[in-house]
A and B are shown apart, each in its own frame.
Chain A
Amino acid sequence: EDQVTQSPEALRLQEGESSSLNCSYTVSGLRGLFWYRQDPGKGPEFLFTLYSAGEEKEKERLKATLTKKESFLHITAPKPEDSATYLCAVRASGGGADGLTFGKGTHLIIQP
């Protein structure tokens, strides 16, 4: 069974204080690891897709990396508007366009 575990569950940072969120996964053949941002009362918003170990993607203050067992979302010099829940999800091999298996997310709060 595919499993995704995210840590920490919650993280409070000061504005400008860089940190990393962790996503560890167990999957039978990875066909993509996805990072989403979810604001309260909203649906998840797509951030990145990573497909193979060693791959990195960047967008503004966010950088996602991937190894064979885990992914990290690095947040550099965060601002209060980066406060959200960050969800990690995997798609496993199995053919077709199967749905995603999500982790519970990391609730990130950036204090001014």
Chain B
Amino acid sequence: DAMVIQNPRYQVTQFGKPVTLSCSQTLNHNVMYWYQQKSSQAPKLLFHYYDKDFNNEADTPDNFQSRRPNTSFCFLDIRSPGLGDAAMYLCATSKGTQPQHFGDGTRLSIL
């Protein structure tokens, strides 16, 4: 089945140690999104790629970066994770403005 796959499902890192989360898709969608969801909170958009064009939300911390080397893959890099960055990170894809399809997320813990 075509889907959005996030790896790893669980990631533990140390305070200040860079970490990379990955997302791949077999839907051939041109738009890929990264959301941060803290416990019992709404998913919050961090940034998205429309094809190769990167779109950053105004309030996304500089600590968060993203790469999209090709249509299928997108990465979220957290350069120096703080305790407040512990959350579920959700990747989503869409074809233009059609509904977004989400992966099952990566739960990030900071020690």
Contact = CB atoms under 8 A, between A and B. Distances in A.
Interface residue tally on B, bucketed by range:
20 to 34
B42 A105 contact: yes
Contact of B43 (A32, A42, A98, A102): A102
Interface residues of A, number: 25
Contact of B97 (A4, A44, A97, A104): A97
A96 interface: yes
| Most chain B CB within a 10 A radius of its CB, from A43, A45, A91 | A43
Contacts, number: 61
A97 B42 contact: no
A39 to B, nearest CB: 9
Interface string A6-25: 00000000000000000000
Interface of A: 4, 31-32, 34, 36, 41-46, 49, 87, 89, 91, 96-105
18 contacts: A32-B97, A34-B100, A41-B105, A42-B104, A43-B4, A43-B90, A43-B102, A43-B105, A87-B42, A96-B50, A97-B94, A97-B96, A98-B55, A99-B57, A99-B100, A101-B42, A102-B42, A104-B42
